[in-house]
Structure 1
Amino acid sequence: MASIGVIDYGMGNLHSLGKALERVSDSGRVIISYDPNELLKCDRLVLPGVGGVRECMKELQRLELNEMVAEAARSKPMLGVCLGMQVMLEWSDENGGVPALGLFPGRVTRFPDPPEDGSPNRLKVPHMGWNRVRQVQQHPLWRGVPDQTWFYFVHSYHAVPTNPAHIMGSTDYGASFASAIARDNIAAFQFHPEKSQNYGMMLLANFTQWDPA
């Protein structure tokens, strides 16, 4: 029986994401664990997260999950969600600068603070709520999902991949930013598919069936 491992390092909405994956994974098992050996036995992995990159990396290293992720990323289908996407890049500007996992070349930077002019239309930080995602490139995870679909976001920092070919989805918030990235057997979303209703569930279902080989 195929299995999906959700990486538990103490930061993330594991319950709702795990339940969402159970709903769409047909006969597959969903395993939430912090045990690197158990996770390496899974057929595919999900790296979730809520919070900051510094604390995320600290916990991943403490639990020796950073090494497991690097090993699994060489062969297994892997999905990053929210902070799980950001930590896949090389560097985050948060907290004065934090090295991350380096699965994608690039950095994570903060949205600029809105001007203090009292304008009712000024953009706020964090970027919170529903926004559209433009499909920059075709990818199996987009199957059945219309271009410009609305997804749910909560974040103050965003990814800036070095290689434009790694951007599979973008979103406008003051300026365009990468809201979905992918290469080889790894993909990641800045938004929360588990909170994004039917099309979010479709993305997760597509991931459970994705064969990058």
Structure 2
Amino acid sequence: DVSRRQRLTARYSFSRFRGLAKQEDPSVAPSSTPHHSGSLAYTYTFDPNFFLELSGGAIHGRTTSYSASARLERRMRGFRVAAGYQRQLSVFGGIRLGGGGLDAAPGFATGLLPSSLSEAVTLTFRGNIGNRVGIEGGGMGARTRSGDSSPELKSLAGHLRLDFKLTERLIAFSTVGIYRQNVTVLLNAPLERTRYLGGVEILLSKPRVREDSPRNTSEETGGNP
């Protein structure tokens, strides 16, 4: 910890991949080039109900890419709202649309390229309306680029859940979720999904900490409250 309000975290990883099966075509064999990944994360707590997280790093193999993320969270009167942005490696960037196989470019186990990046913006909220009604929701917009001539993958997802507390251990709930994507990597066609769900949730034990309680930085850092 830099101070009571500030925390700095550094991470480094080294990766080398080897295929389990022999590839007849050497162009699609896994890259033997080692990959180095490093990142630095900074957290600043303005007060127990308001904090900011920033992180950035780099991944180096045959090519070099950078990753970054930011998150801002605020808690007020039983509500929690958070917004964030992230840029990271995409696990689907190594697949060519309509190709029926993996990208021949050097990558992680022929499926993940250092230049295959995904960017996403997120917004989430959760809280209580009165003593019996709870609400939770969130949304995300993302785009994925594979670093070659393949088109960008753009997606939008969101969900909303309403809870009604019947008793201390019995909760009725309903949820709705949507997902939209401009094209799928396997079918080369747009994707649209909407889901509805309702039911009853039974709590077998009470939570140790209330969900709307303020952020306790001492638990994460090991310091005194």
TM-score, structure 2 length as denominator? 0.24
Considering fraction of residues, name the structure with more strand. Answer: 2
Higher-Rg member (1/2)? 2
Ranked by relative contact order (alpha carbons within 8 Å, sequence separation 6 or more), the top structure is 1
- Where is the helix percentage greater, Structure 1 or Structure 2? 1
